[in-house]
């Protein structure tokens, strides 16, 4: 929505009497009107058997010279604990619908090797399976999220997996688990019933998948489960409507609905380089990230129509930037670098998810290590924390806190005759009353002066700030080099009685803690 050279953007698309004459960039936060909780699972992650995400990424094996705990890299454990990773989705992705979980249990030397026909045709030796993944989740303090094989698997196979993982009643599955070294069940809550069933998960129609979902979900019984249905492509609203219609009479079987969206620079045939880009590429990456919110809102509107009680959570369980692979790497491994541009789009995604917290209950960035918009990059015993990692570290203050309505009036970011909202923001209040406001400036070249009005707050006591930015749009962190993008203290603000004035540098992400 545009008004002259100004655009509105935020949780509510209303300026509440604000005009350009008062201040060109203004954010109004209703500090006493929050009622929705920002689920910590919005800050979740995704680890697929793809490229070097699992092998060499988080798993090196117990005999590796790289420091590890039961085969899992210690540096990865420490890094994911640093950002309070709340949930991890596994084993896919497309790989999930070729994965048979019993291949990945028992003595590793006896596990059968298979071909990873989805990602590169390489050998998958199944040394990392159910026990290893659930051990990894316990080590980093995250909830596991398992995706069952619907495309090439059976209902019995899926039901056995749930029983193996969750049941404490004596049965062949629980005895098998105990034989393999785990006495107590893990009590896994989150279970996806297939992945992208419209495509790599079986090329199904929504009508067929909805019936299959009901069949599988009926037999996933062990524990208090959150069963998550596969969504269609981001523009397939028919799939969403069919699935919601066909599950209305069995509402006890569905607790979540999967939504996937990837930002590509100019299109799937012009994804572009992750590091070699100009402002035109920057602008279109921001533009196509904002398109995601329009798609998200349309799916939410359908969910509100068929699920007015808001029982079913929207799970954005794959999202992020997708660029061309780095030159000289396996094109099927989807390895890309990660720059300040990725940090700004990550903040934009997270602001959008926060502001839709009533319906969005989970997000899982793709992916955790060495694949697409990764948190971490590894090479041998080296580990790099990407700019996106630092956004997740900065934003962890919003996990499980109360969403505050934020109304944003801002100058447009204009490039080549096209305009976008120049500022994105979200805010929350924690249990002690502290307010955290996170903002990003989409314009790479212009600083913005912003007035933040804190309605309902009885004065500002103190403020602390953090910033992520760099001189270059394509600044990145790389092996053997000092970090170019990380979190630094931010002092570009002045507190007033019930407001804050701040100078938000171009291409930056900032979080303020207001007391």
Residues serving a catalytic function are 196, 318
Q: Is the Cβ–Cβ distance between 476 and 442 less than 8 Å?
A: no
Half-sphere exposure of 233 (CA within 13 A, CB side): 8
Nearest-angstrom CA–CA distance, 257 and 255:
7
- Closest alpha carbon to 361 in 307, 435, 415, 439: 307
Q: Is the backbone of residue 194 left (phi > 0), alpha (psi -120 to 50) or beta?
A: left
- Closest alpha carbon to 103 in 71, 134, 132, 126: 126
Cβ contacts of residue 219 below 8 Å, gap of 6+?
155, 156, 158, 159
Cβ contacts of residue 374 below 8 Å, gap of 6+?
53, 336, 338, 367, 368, 386, 388
Residue position matching structure tokens 């420091």: 67
Nearest-angstrom CA–CA distance, 237 and 251:
20
Distance of CA 269 to the CA centre of its chain: 24
Which residues are bridge partners to 114 per DSSP? Answer: 124
């Amino acid at each position: 929505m545009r008004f002259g050279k100004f655009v509105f953007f935020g949780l509510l698309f209303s300026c509440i009497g604000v005009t350009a004459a008062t201040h060109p960039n203004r954010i109004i936060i209703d500090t006493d009107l929050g009622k929705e909780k920002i689920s910590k699972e919005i800050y979740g992650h995704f680890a697929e058997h793809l490229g070097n995400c699992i092998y060499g990424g988080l798993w090196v094996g117990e005999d590796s010279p790289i420091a590890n705990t039961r085969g899992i890299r210690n540096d990865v454990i420490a890094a994911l604990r640093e950002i309070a990773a709340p949930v991890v989705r596994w084993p896919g992705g497309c790989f999930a619908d070729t994965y048979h979980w019993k291949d990945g249990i028992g003595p590793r030397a006896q596990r059968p090797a298979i071909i990873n026909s989805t990602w590169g045709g390489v050998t998958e030796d199944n040394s990392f399976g159910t026990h290893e993944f659930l051990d990894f989740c316990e080590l980093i303090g995250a909830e596991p999220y398992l995706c069952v094989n619907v495309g090439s698997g059976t209902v019995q196979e899926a039901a056995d997996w749930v029983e193996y993982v969750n049941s404490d009643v004596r049965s062949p599955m629980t005895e098998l688990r105990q034989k393999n070294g785990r006495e107590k069940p893990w009590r896994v809550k989150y279970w996806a019933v297939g992945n992208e069933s419209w495509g790599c998960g079986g090329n199904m129609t929504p009508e067929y998948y909805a019936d299959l979902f009901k069949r599988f979900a009926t037999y996933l019984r062990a524990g208090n489960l959150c069963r998550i249905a596969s969504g269609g492509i981001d523009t397939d609203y028919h799939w969403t409507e069919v699935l919601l219609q066909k599950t209305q009479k069995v509402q006890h079987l569905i607790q979540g609905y999967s939504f996937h969206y990837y930002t590509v620079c100019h299109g799937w045939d012009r994804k572009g380089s992750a590091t070699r880009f100009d402002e035109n590429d920057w602008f279109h990456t921001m533009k196509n990230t904002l398109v995601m919110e329009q798609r998200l809102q349309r799916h939410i509107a359908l969910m509100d129509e068929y699920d007015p009680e808001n029982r079913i959570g929207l799970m954005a369980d794959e999202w992020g930037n997708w660029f061309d692979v780095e030159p000289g790497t396996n094109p099927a491994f989807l390895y890309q670098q990660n720059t300040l541009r990725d940090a700004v789009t990550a903040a934009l995604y997270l602001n959008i998810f926060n502001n839709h917290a009533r319906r969005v209950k989970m997000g899982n960035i793709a992916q955790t290590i060495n694949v697409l918009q990764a948190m971490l990059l590894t090479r041998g015993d080296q580990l790099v924390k990407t700019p996106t990692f630092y956004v997740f570290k900065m934003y962890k203050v919003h996990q499980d806190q109360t969403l505050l309505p934020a109304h944003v009036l801002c100058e447009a970011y204009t490039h080549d005759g096209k305009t976008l909202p120049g500022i994105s923001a979200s805010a929350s209040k924690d249990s002690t009353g502290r307010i955290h406001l996170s903002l990003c400036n989409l314009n790479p070249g212009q600083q913005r002066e912003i007035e933040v009005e804190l309605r309902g707050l009885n004065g500002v006591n103190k403020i602390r700030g953090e910033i992520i930015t760099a001189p270059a749009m394509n600044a990145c962190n790389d092996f053997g080099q000092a970090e170019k993008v990380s979190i630094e203290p931010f002092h570009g603000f002045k507190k007033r009685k019930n407001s804050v004035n701040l100078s938000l540098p171009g291409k930056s992400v900032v979080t303020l803690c207001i007391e």
